[in-house]
Amino acid sequence: MRFQPALDKIPVYEAGKPIELVVREYGISPEKVIKLASNENPYGASPKVENAIREAVYKMPLYPDDSYRNLKEALAKTHGVDAKNVIQGNGSDQIFDFATRSVLNPGDKILQNGKTFSMYSIYAGQCGAETISVDSVLHNLDLFLDSYKKNSPKIIFICTPCNPIGDALNKDDLFSFLEKISPETMVVVDAAYMEFGKTRDPKKEVQASELISKFPNVLYTNTFSKIYGLGGMRIGYGIGNEELIRAFYKLRAPFNVSQLSQLAATVALEDRKFVDDYLRSNLKELLRYEEFARTKGLSYFESYTNFITIELDKARLTSTQLFETLLKEGIILRNLKSYGLNAIRITIGKPEQNDIVLDRLEKLL
């Protein structure tokens, strides 16, 4: 069969290894596996969400409310915007898909950071567009601006705080960058880790309401997969000006978010205490990893997220050796070799999980 030529250039996305794989391949019992590979919330989701789901199981046979009004109103309230500015997605991934399909034609370009979330490029590739990556590890907006002028991309993706490095932009720097971008260029600000970032440093906080009122070409995205512990429910959202959101609605399949996911997300927004407790624990535990890296003389990136990326150039093992050794013991981390880095990304776990991981790292590195 002749597939679209665009597919030849698209790599298949490699997700973090699932617990099931370790159970299957190494015979480790599932409750012993420590999975710190996909930046999930180690505490799971709020108990309020679990209860709400249990009570709503009877709704499974029914199609969801396709207006997604409850969820959109809750998100609009949380972010200080209008429900007309919000679109729900099957993960924020689906919002990136809407963004790329709404403006890209074959031969167009997108601009992104050197090290960033790999799905932007995959969605752009599906539209036949080319990815230009800025030649830097940390976001460098001067280089972004140079490349923007040279390449005239249709979309610029900014991930702040950024996965897989963990760095974050100051809001002021981001805003002065955005002022220099034509309103004809879409800018996607992927804020999947924003809550973690602003907890560590309020200067990193970018608010959706301010962003979209100042810049009609900017789309803000966020997800329930990380801080709210709902990765398995596949739910995220985009916030943008009405015209943009209306265009996305034309690309949407009906019922694009499941009945129970919609409910889970709506209830999750109500449990602020659960989120605040997690944020506090995360930052405290993150600092333990940073301290560990410093005492070991390993370079790491100061992180504004729920993970830490440690470079292993000065270590006894390469990232692949470390990753494989720990995998066999039932500890799943993320090897960043496919990003061209000899580095390991570790999601910050619960204190007792981190005790085990830090102890193993201490002995192996």
Ligand X SMILES: *Cc1c(COP(=O)(O)O)cnc(C)c1O
Query: For binding to ligand X (CB under 6 A), which residues are involved?
Result: 39, 91-93, 117, 159, 163, 190, 192, 223, 225-226, 231, 236
- The three-state secondary structure class of 216 is coil
Nearer to ligand X, 131 or 163 (CB): 163
How far apart CA 334 and CA 220 sit, in angstroms, is 26
Give CA angle at 118 (185, 331), nearest 5°. 150
User: 343 near 312, Cβ under 8 Å?
Assistant: yes
Closest distance to ligand X from the beta carbon of 362 (Å): 27
In sign, the C-alpha dihedral spanning 31, 36, 40, 41 is positive
Nearer to ligand X, 224 or 315 (CB): 224
| C-beta pairs of 335-339 under 8 Å, 24+ apart in sequence | 336/164, 336/309, 338/14, 339/115, 339/118, 339/164
Closest distance to ligand X from the beta carbon of 36 (Å): 14
Closest distance to ligand X from the beta carbon of 277 (Å): 21
In sign, the C-alpha dihedral spanning 148, 301, 19, 284 is negative
Closest distance to ligand X from the beta carbon of 223 (Å): 3
Nearer to ligand X, 153 or 161 (CB): 161
Nearer to ligand X, 44 or 231 (CB): 231
User: 104 near 150, Cβ under 8 Å?
Assistant: no
Q: 312: closest CA among 287, 345, 285, 283?
A: 345
Nearer to ligand X, 325 or 338 (CB): 338
Closest distance to ligand X from the beta carbon of 235 (Å): 7
Closest distance to ligand X from the beta carbon of 295 (Å): 28
Nearer to ligand X, 38 or 152 (CB): 38
In sign, the C-alpha dihedral spanning 278, 96, 93, 53 is positive
- Of all residues in the shown chain, the one whose CB is closest to ligand X is 91
